[in-house]
Amino acid sequence: MSRLIVISNRVSRPGPSGNQGGLAVALAEALRESRGLWVGWSGDVTDNFTGQIGFHEDDGVRTATIDLEEQDVDEYYNGYANRTLWPLFHFRIDLAEYARDFEGGYNRVNRRFAECISPLIESDDVVWIHDYHMIPLGQMLRDRGFGGRMGYFLHIPWPPTRLLVSLPHHANLVRTLFAYDVIGFQTEEWLESFRHYVERELGGTVDGDRVTLGDRTIEAIACPIGVNARHFADAATSDDARAMYGQMRASLQDRALIVGVDRLDYSKGLEERFNGYARFLKDHPEHHRHVVLTQVAPPSREDVGSYQQIRATLDALAGRINGEYSDVDWTPIRYVNHGYPRDRLAGIYRAARVGLVTPLRDGMNLVAKEYVAAQDPEDPGVLILSRFAGAAMQLTDALLINPYSPEEMSDAIHRALAMPLDERQRRWRAMMDSVEQQDIGWWRRRFTSRLNGEDAPVGKDEFSATET
């Protein structure tokens, strides 16, 4: 078995069980099996970049991390990654900032990674690079002599061609993807946009999964990421989750809980969600005092102006809605700006009659799948899901809505609260089948089997956009 080298901006070292993301758990399994290595930014800042690598081994998983300079973090992470590519790839060209310093810093940091990582890679290793922070890294590793198999997975949407062409030097960036052997997208829609760009802008050709540009042919596939469904189902009845569930139910008394759990990010549609909920309160006075929206929203990317702005907007909006509708013994929105460990989240999900997942655009959205996995099969809650989340391609039995429409959101909340048990069970069962079959392990195996040059697995668990 070839050694797997995973490279991503964030590296997660194994920690207490239940508190690690599904991605970290799935990659850890593959890294353990192949005695591989996970490489990325340490999250720390150093005065002068030395290229020194910090090696660790936890629970059989080896990691290698690199410190960056403050200017690197400003231009690469806060700059090109999160002020330029993130908004553009989430269809927000109004928020995208195009600055030469950002692009320069992004390329410099990718080169720094390439320089540090190249000596660690052996010719028969298999390399898997993740996400928009590191698009050109594969090309830079090739330039330094790596000739082995290399894959890339994009966790966020791929924008339509007409938006992508607003990025200065877009063609140079996209061409670097042809250094990989396999590239993966979360959905057929993002894959289709990528193919369209290659044909229209670069003059490349598409033949099924194969995309050719000049003398390079790569495989481009849709490979939706999943969650650790079994873990969430078990976690939902763990001691931590039960304690959280009990605490929530006691504080709610008999009120129905609607829950949202999102990083505080403009792409998650929180402003539109609060407005949709306010519309529901206006349309349905009969629900007053009988329902509570709990929105968990840990702050994210706090050095970026658009994130500071959305936080201020939401503070004001939650205050305004609560001011308008609260009573001395009822607050319609509980707005919480800190995160919870996953085991406790499982209890929160299970206590909620409605999961409200309404991003304006999202690569996948794991919260939607976790909410489904954590439900009580005998008495499951209802998922309200944005049509514009990658997860909507698989979770077609959710109540799918347009998050920009407060009326649709209001109607969906009303319908979810009134939904009879048999319909809730039927919808949940269909969603749970998908979440269980196409879980995080399925995603990892599907991608790495392509990367290893094996034929894609065929059969009932093979992904197709229309199958689920």
Ligand X SMILES: O=P(O)(O)OC[C@H]1O[C@H](O[C@H]2O[C@H](CO)[C@@H](O)[C@H](O)[C@H]2O)[C@H](O)[C@@H](O)[C@@H]1O
Q: Which residues are catalytic?
A: 155, 362
Q: Out of 78, 82, 365, 468, name the contact with ligand UDP by CB under 6 A.
A: 365
Smallest gap from residue 88 Cβ to ligand UDP (A) = 16
By CB under 6 A, tell whether 155 contacts ligand X. yes
Site residue total, ligand X (CB under 6 A): 12
Contact between 301 and ligand X (CB under 6 A)?
yes
Query: Closest Cα partner for 5 from 121, 110, 118?
Result: 121
Q: How many angstroms separate the CA atoms of 88 and 93, rounded? A: 5
- DSSP assignment of 283-307: H-GGGTTSEEEEEE--B--TTSHHH
Angle at alpha carbon of residue 52, lines to 46 and 55, rounded to 5°: 110
Contacting range for ligand X; rule: CB under 6 A; set: 138-146, 289-297, 358-366, 403-411: 358-366
- 322 neighbors 331 (Cβ within 8 angstroms): yes
Binding string, residues 334-363; x marks residues near ligand UDP by CB under 6 A: -----xx-x--x------------------
- Residue 76 identity (one-letter amino acid): Y
Structure-token pair, residue 384: 């309200």
Residue type, 418: A
Taking the complex as a whole, how short is the minimal distance between the CB of residue 382 and ligand UDP, in angstroms? 18
DSSP letters for 91-109: T-TTT----HHHHHHHHHH
Q: Is 92 in the site for ligand X (CB under 6 A)?
A: no
d(CA 61, CA 53): 16
Could you say which of ligand X, ligand UDP, none residue 104 binds, taking C-beta under 5 to 8 angstroms by partner kind? none
Q: Which does 131 bind (CB under 5 to 8 A by kind): ligand X, ligand UDP, none?
A: ligand X
Closest distance to ligand UDP from the beta carbon of 425 (Å): 24
Range in contact with ligand X (rule: CB under 6 A) among 38-46, 363-371, 392-400, 460-468: 363-371
| Burial of 271: CB neighbours in 10 Å, binned 0-12, 13-18, 19+ | middle
210-269 residues in contact with ligand X (CB under 6 A) are 225
Told to check if 363 binds ligand X by CB under 6 A, we report: yes
362 binds ligand X (CB under 6 A): yes
Residues in the chain: 468
Q: Quick check: 366 binds ligand UDP (CB under 6 A)? A: yes
Which residues of this chain interact with ligand X, rule CB under 6 A? 10, 131, 155-156, 225, 300-301, 362-366
